């Protein structure tokens, strides 16, 4: 009788051992485990380290500096690699960037400021709690197009 009670336990142990080593099997994740054989849902997305609220300091080739003092970075809901940067250069529409490990790229994000289109393109990276973004602003639809470059340093 005791043997019949132990049999289900032995079967569970054997089946658990047959699965292979668990871990994160996504090579793009922060905690990728190349020896993992079975995904155990512990993967950490590289973009998660970018999320948060930051104070910002700008250095721009234009005379007027943006007034926004805080920037928020959130994960985009429509994919696993993009972040949304709220408040960059004073924009009310978030700037979208695609994350690759500790770096990201901004691919021609368009925004409307004071009823005119502006385009932003650039890249950035994170070290610890600090993000550096190098970007260019284009005002291509003015009578005479205006282009300037900026560096934004964000700190948590």
Domains of the chain: 2-39 (no CATH), 46-155 (2.40.128.420)
If you write DSSP's letter for every residue of 70-107 in order, what string do you get?
Answer: EEEEEE-SS-SSEEEEESGGG-SSPEEEEEETTEEEEE
Per-residue pLDDT, 40: 93
pLDDT value of residue 38: 92
Instruction: Kindly report, residue by residue over 17-71, the tens digit of the pLDDT.
Output: 556 889 999 888 889 999 999 999 999 889 999 999 999 998 888 766 666 689 9
Q: Which residue has the higher pLDDT, 65 or 146?
A: 146
Q: What are the tens digits of pLDDT across the range 74-99?
A: 999 998 899 999 998 878 789 999 99
Instruction: Assess whether pLDDT exceeds 90 at residue 4.
Output: no
- Cα gap 109→13, rounded to integer Å: 53
Higher pLDDT, 68 or 101: 101
The answer to whether residues 16 and 30 touch, using CB atoms and an 8 Å cutoff, is no
- The verdict on pTM exceeding 0.95 is no
């Amino acid at each position: 009788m005791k043997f019949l009670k132990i049999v289900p336990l032995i079967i569970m142990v054997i089946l658990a051992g047959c699965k292979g080593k668990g871990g994160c099997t996504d090579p793009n994740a922060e905690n990728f485990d190349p020896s993992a054989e079975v995904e155990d849902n512990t993967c950490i997305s590289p973009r998660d380290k970018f999320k948060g609220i930051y104070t910002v300091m700008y250095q721009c080739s234009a005379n007027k500096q943006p007034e926004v003092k805080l920037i928020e970075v959130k994960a985009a809901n429509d994919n696993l690699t993009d972040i949304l940067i709220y408040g960059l250069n004073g924009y009310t529409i978030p700037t979208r960037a695609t994350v690759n490990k500790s770096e990201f790229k901004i691919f021609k994000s368009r925004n409307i400021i004071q009823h005119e289109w502006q385009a932003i393109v650039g890249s950035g990276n994170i070290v610890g709690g600090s993000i550096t973004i190098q970007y260019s602003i284009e005002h291509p639809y003015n009578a005479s197009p205006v282009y300037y470059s900026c560096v934004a340093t964000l700190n948590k």
